[in-house]
A and B are shown apart, each in its own frame.
Chain A
Amino acid sequence: MDNRQKEINNLKDYKYGFSTEIENIQAPKGLNEGVIKFISNIKKEPAWMLEFRLKAFERFKVLKEPDWQKPKFPKIDYQDLYYYSAPKSMKDKPKSLDELDPKLLETYKKLGIPLQEQARLNGIAVDAVFDSVSVATTFKDELTKQGIIFCPISEAIQNHPELVKKYLGSVIPTSDHFFATLNSAVFTDGSFVYIPEGVRCPMELSTYFRINASNTGQFERTLIIADKGSYVSYLEGCTAPMRDENQLHAANVELVALDDAEIKYSTVQNWYPGDQDGKGGIYNFVTKRGLCKGKNSKISWTQVETGSAITWKYPSCILKGDNSVGEFYSIAITNNHQKADTGTKMIHLGKNTKSKIISKGISAGSSDMTYRGLVDISSKAKNSTNYTQCDSLLMGNKCGAHTVPYIKNKNSESNIAHEATTSKISEEQLHYCQQRGLNPEEAVGLIVNGFCKEVLQQLPMEFAVEAQKLVGISLEGSVG
């Protein structure tokens, strides 16, 4: 067996499928005011935060679970979930990395997260979220020097209440849709980033999410604020252990870009997709929304979605400031019984706003993939443009690929262009590669990587390599 084959075999089984045995503190099962108060209490939150949660919960009670999406799933019993789970050893927070539970460190090592030296070498500041509580934050000092705040959101609520109060819920209000509201009520942790005026964040910020305890929904909340003229690139990676039951992940991500600021948000999502027969896996129902609040601001979403049993998310941009720019680059790969319904929303409100959507979908096995997107140019958004391209690639005749774009143009001075294609890998291309000595699997890998190149290029270096590998692994066994 050659090296490559070995590597593939290693990776074929879900690489991150182990769970760490650490004692957990859990909130009582179920969802009610008591549990919300429990979460708020254990996090020592101020009164306004509890109010925020309860307001969301009030609203949640009247909302119904949406059912318009393509992938259907069995009804989730929201009373049968744990809404808070924290490793016990975290109760007294460690002051430095050395104080961390060795078992925890080992988990991260298996995940390949370079928390210490490796982090330094890679120049990444990692805020690792292990079952909803941020374990440790590296590179804090360097960031602090520049005035950058990068910490768990629970800490930000304590230390920077004025910022959190001002921006939390300003993009995804408590009155939003079902899952976003649920998150507002019960979110446990997540990252908070504030980049002060005129600062260009010197390194890529990164969070690694991981769901560990079974039967817990993971509800993180990320809030990123880029003040005037600042720049930040944020990376998010996700994995979860193998379990037979389905787990819910309903995170909220809010981005706010003020005048001339730029936020680049990259995600590599590799949650456990379930086994080959579609048993188990994560339900990834995430709300991501960015607000280009100021003039000349820019928000760019890049995502590589290869995991989860069901992915259901639409990272969106609200282009409120004049001349603001929204971008969305996406690769979604589904294999076996995975289902994905993903896309974006570009809502043009300001003048001269621009948006670009590049979406590449690949479905194999018995999977099902939908691109669903909205481009809405309001009557005030003079001189705005949108360009959308969504391509789908099908492998085998048991899978499906669908495109559902909604295009609304209310402004005669704005232009929208949309194109979509669906096809399979042509025999000619395969033949050409094989003729030159590649085996069929390598040939497909090469062609698929070429198909995705436009999006892969958008990823920061550290991620691009991993993502490229992931693309290959996800499609293992789908050829032939």
Chain B
Amino acid sequence: MKEQLQKDFYNSIKNLSLSQKDIEIKKFCLDNFLDKGFPNKKEEDWKFSDLNQIIKNNIGELSFYNDQASTNKVDTSVFVDGLEHNKIVFINGRIEKIDFEYEKKDQIEIIDQSETINEFENSNSLSDLNNAFTNKCFKILVKKGYQLAKPLIIYHTTNSKIWSKNINLRLNFELDKDSSLRLIDLFNDVSEKNFLNIFYNFELKENAVLKNYKVDKFENKNIKYSFNNIDQEKNSISETFILSSGSNFSKNEINCNLNGVYASAFVNGVFSLNNDKHHEIRSIINHLTENTKSYQLIKSVLEQSSKAVYQGKIFVNSDAQKTDGYQLSKAILLNKESEFNAKPELEIYADDVKCSHGSASGSLNEDSIFYLMSRGLNYHQSRELLINGFLLDVVEKITDSEIKNLIKNMIGIKE
């Protein structure tokens, strides 16, 4: 892999107009990655999901060079109907379209920031990989007091042109004071056996509101890793919803720093898995100052030999008095082969706090099924009804009604 990486790296930077310094930084990151490689289960954060092994088994040899010179045709059929929205379209990792047609042009700024690198706490060798190979990075700045009229949908599309490739993406967002953004990540994959490595960084200023919905619904054989870093100032709110279902392997990491008083973070997730899929959500909520709040709800329905992992951590700094932290994960295992692993963690250094977590996993309740069947439903319907009700609980947490309906339609949950 080493030689391939180096060869691909030099091919990649050849096509970019980078300063000597940028090249050096990228090279430094590459060396870091070469040193550490893909994370494996010896690392505590990857204990339940050995990415190194997963890539080896599912992809085999990865190549890292992506030809970004030629444009891809945007397939408009993937666009969401019935919801007016702004778009950013990634095809095979290349930005093909940025379109804020519904917004005031002077309120949103798109800044080319290709020289910045990710330096997050709690990150891993994948951020080095991302730094070394991302070629374009934009920062989207929502100006003071502006609230986007329509949601922004980011389409992550891959077409059949790529195979066994590593795609690295990065986007930065800054939400200035009193601004708000609704953001949907939608994955559409035609290709197979690629590894997507996505880094987002969000900066939320005072009173800013971010709603991020990640929807990985459509069946595909790709491997995805996504890292969201969210920094929040006073009174800001972040809401993250993750629908984890389509990919062969997917790991979503959320690292949220509540830096300002009265900041709050919500993380809700649904795993709906079948076949041999293996998905993970890992969240770290850092309560760094007084009067901050976090709420997390993760539910899983696991069929066949699928496997879901939830690692959630609530960290409370000694200054962060009056913290309210809550975390709940529930899983239904429908098959003998399915597996659910959880590591709900509390690390607390302040005494005047209210923190709790709960985790439960088990089978469908036979009594409930009996109850429904005794009222005339057949076994299949009863099961469906119970599972829908179980998952609906999380979907109902979505605070935006337009998007809530969209997601309900997508996963076919009816009320």
Give chain A's interface residues, CB within 8 Å of chain B: 68, 379, 392, 394-424
Contact = CB atoms under 8 A, between A and B. Distances in A.
Contacts of A419: 356-359
Nearest to A408: B341
Given A400-B347, A401-B346, A409-B340, 8 more contacts: A68-B44, A401-B348, A402-B346, A403-B344, A409-B341, A415-B362, A419-B358, A424-B353
13 contacts: A379-B336, A397-B321, A399-B351, A402-B345, A404-B343, A407-B342, A407-B344, A409-B331, A409-B333, A412-B335, A419-B357, A420-B346, A423-B355
B361 A415 contact: yes
B346 A422 contact: yes
Interface string B344-381: 11111111111111111111000000000000000000
Interface string B198-210: 0000000000000
A414 B334 CA distance: 11
B356 A421 contact: yes
A410 B336 CA distance: 7
B11 interface: no
Contacts of A413: 336, 363
A334 to B, nearest CB: 13
Contacts of A420: 344, 346, 356-358
Q: Which of B338, B348, B354, B363 has the most chain A CB atoms closer than 10 A to its own CB?
A: B348
A403 B351 contact: no
**Lowest 8 A-B CB distances belong to which pairs?**
A415-B362, A412-B333, A394-B351, A403-B346, A421-B356, A407-B342, A418-B359, A409-B361
A410 B363 contact: no
Determine the interface band of chain B, counting residues with CB < 8 A from chain A.
35 or more
Contacts, number: 115
B233 to A, nearest CB: 23
Nearest to B343: A406
B318 interface: yes
Nearest to A388: B359
Contact of B360 (A394, A400, A411, A416): A416
Given A407-B361, A418-B358, A412 B346 contact: no
Nearest to B302: A412
B347 A402 contact: yes
A414 B338 CA distance: 12
B331 A424 contact: no
Contacts of A421: 355-356
B339 interface: yes
Nearest to B355: A422
A379 B338 CA distance: 9
B355 A414 contact: no
B362 A414 contact: yes
B360 A410 contact: no
A413 B347 CA distance: 32
**B-side binding surface: helix, strand, loop or mixed?**
strand
Contacts of A422: 346, 348, 353-356
B309 to A, nearest CB: 10
B338 to A, nearest CB: 6
Nearest to B319: A397
Contacts of B357: 403, 418-420
Interface string B233-260: 0000000000000000000000000000
Interface in B302-343: 318, 321, 331, 333-343
A410 B339 contact: yes
Nearest to A415: B362
A314 B381 CA distance: 45
B297 to A, nearest CB: 15
A422 B346 CA distance: 9
Contacts of A404: 343, 345-346
Nearest to B309: A408
Interface in B241-297: none
A419 B341 CA distance: 15
A406 B310 CA distance: 10
Contacts of A412: 333-336, 338, 362-363
Contacts of B331: 409
Given A406-B343, A407-B342, A409-B331, A400 B361 contact: no
Contacts of B336: 379, 411-413
Interface string B19-38: 00000000000000000000
Q: Which of B331, B334, B356 has the most chain A CB atoms closer than 10 A to its own CB?
A: B356
B349 A397 contact: yes
A217 to B, nearest CB: 29
Nearest to A394: B351
A445 to B, nearest CB: 18
Given A68-B44, A379-B336, A413-B363, A418 B344 contact: yes
A416 B358 CA distance: 10
A66 B361 CA distance: 31
B349 A400 contact: yes
Given A411-B336, A416-B359, A418-B359, A395 B343 contact: no
A33 to B, nearest CB: 32
A420 B348 CA distance: 12
A400 B352 CA distance: 12
Contacts of A414: 362-363
Contacts of A418: 342, 344, 357-360
Nearest to B358: A419
A417 B347 contact: no
Contacts of B351: 394-397, 399, 424
